[in-house]
A = this chain, B = another copy of it.
Amino acid sequence: MKWTMALCLAILSLLVLDGPAPAKVVGQTVEYRQNGTLLKGYLAYDDAVKGRRPGVLVVHEFWGLNDFARQRADKLAEMGYTALAVDMYGEGKVTRDRAEATKLAGHVRSTPLMRERAQAGLKVLRKHNLVDPQRLAAIGFCFGGTTVLELAYSGADVKGVVSFHGGLTAPKPEDRKRLKAKILILHGAEDPHVKAEEIKAFQEAMRQAGADWQMIYYGGAVHSFANPEAGRDKSSGVAYDPKAAARSWQHMQLSLQEIFQNKMGLDG
């Protein structure tokens, strides 16, 4: 009788207790180089998940690789992805000064550095032993949103890119042939930093490129809607919008599920 009971209890405990192991996100600084410049990224993955999994690049706002970007990487890791928040400025430079941020972002945006540093990060992610090199994507916020578009325009081997309140640069004619990533634009409908002409030119270029693109307008949302650090003053044109933040994060998850053909996120 005892062994029967013991066996049953063992089976019961397996059935009842053996759900997925609790997520244990590991985050670590990763150093790599782009053309001699030391870049300090942040890599996150769930230690309870085994083996290679889709990899997602995270590109920070114009403030640099700060906690907000790291937290996005952690959240992606909780869903089961391996995420790398890249460093676009070198040496992990971060600022809270708007003028300095504008200068740093402007320099990277106006030179080949924007594509090169995003590609350098992608290379690190692709080679990681917890990443399936066939299944890569990139997400970015504001400046980072522009960056992931440029990464896609460079013909990088990512299945998709997702821009949260990013600048909408249009691909150049030579970019259009290279572009193969699916594009998802998550846009604050009242964002004063993205002009109507830019939207029009972007959409027109998507058409000409025959791109797979989607663009979601969040009513009432302005620039930086996904970032709680952006404050609540919409009249400034830059503000957190919890509703748009939650919706856009879910829309991103759906898109990642689609391009990777998995069920990660949404239930987590």
Contact = CB atoms under 8 A, between A and B. Distances in A.
A212 B219 contact: yes
Could you say how many copies of this chain the assembly holds?
2
Contacts of A206: 219
A11 B190 CA distance: 56
Interface in A190-217: 190, 203, 206-207, 210-217
A213 B218 CA distance: 7
A25 to B, nearest CB: 23
15 contacts: A8-B12, A11-B12, A12-B15, A183-B219, A189-B213, A203-B219, A210-B220, A212-B219, A212-B243, A214-B216, A215-B216, A247-B258, A250-B254, A251-B251, A266-B266
Given A8-B8, A250-B254, A254-B250, A218 B207 contact: no
A214 B214 contact: no
Contact of A218 (B190, B214, B220): B214
Interface string A90-114: 0000000000000000000000000
A16 interface: yes
Interface of A: 1, 4-5, 8-9, 11-12, 15-16, 183, 189-190, 203, 206-207, 210-220, 243, 247, 250-251, 254, 258, 263, 266-267
A255 to B, nearest CB: 8
Contacts of A251: 251, 254
Contacts of A11: 8, 12
A214 B247 contact: yes
B220 A212 contact: yes
A210 B217 CA distance: 15
A247 B218 CA distance: 17
B219 A211 contact: yes
Leading 8 A-B pairs by shortest Cβ distance: A8-B8, A213-B219, A1-B1, A215-B217, A216-B216, A15-B15, A4-B5, A4-B4
